[in-house]
Structure 1
Amino acid sequence: MNTEPVESVSTLPPETEPRKFTLLVVDDEEGPRQSLRMVFRNDFNVHTVDSGEKALAYARDNVVHIAILDIRMSGSTGIEVLESLKAIDRRIEVIMLTAYETLETARQALRLGACDYLSKPFDLSTVRNTAARALHLRKISDTVSSTAERLSELNHRLSDIALREEMARTTNEIYAGVIHDINNPLTVISGYVQLLEERLKNVAFIHGDDLEKIRSTIDYIGKQVGTCTAIASRYLRFVTKNEAPGRHLAINQIIADLQALLNAHPEVRFNRLCVKPLDIDATPQIDATDLIQILLNLTINAFQSTDRKQTVWVVADTLDRAPDFPHPLDTKTEFLLGRETFKHQGPVISLSVLDQGAGISPETLPQIFDAYFTTKSHQGTGLGLAIVARLVQTHGALLHLKTRPKEGTTVTLYLPRQG
Structure 2
Amino acid sequence: MKSARSDLDIDVISRYPTSSGYLLQQDIQQDALFLHNSKSGKGLVGSFKRKVANRLMPDIMMAHLGKGGVFKSFAVPPHLKAFTESLAKYDAIIQVGGSFFVDLYGVTQFDHALCALMAKKPIYLIGHSVGPFQNPRVNALANFVFDRVNSLVLRESVSLDLMKRDGVTSSKVAAGVDTAFLVRAREVENPSHNLLHWQGIISSRKTIAITVRELAPFDKRLGVTQKEYEAAFGRVINAMIAEGYQVVAFSTCTGIDSYAKDDRMVALTLRDHVEQPEHYHVIMDEFNDLELGILLSHCHLTIGTRLHSAIISMNFGTPAVAINYEHKSMGVMNQLGLPQMATDVKSLMDGSLIDKVKSVLADYDNIKLKVNTAVANEREIGNRITEEILKVLG
TM-score by length of 1: 0.23
Which structure has the highest strand share of the two? 1
Q: Which one has more relative contact order, counting CA pairs under 8 Å at least 6 apart?
A: 2
Q: Whose Rg is larger?
A: 1
TM-score by length of 2: 0.25
Which structure has the highest helix share of the two? 2
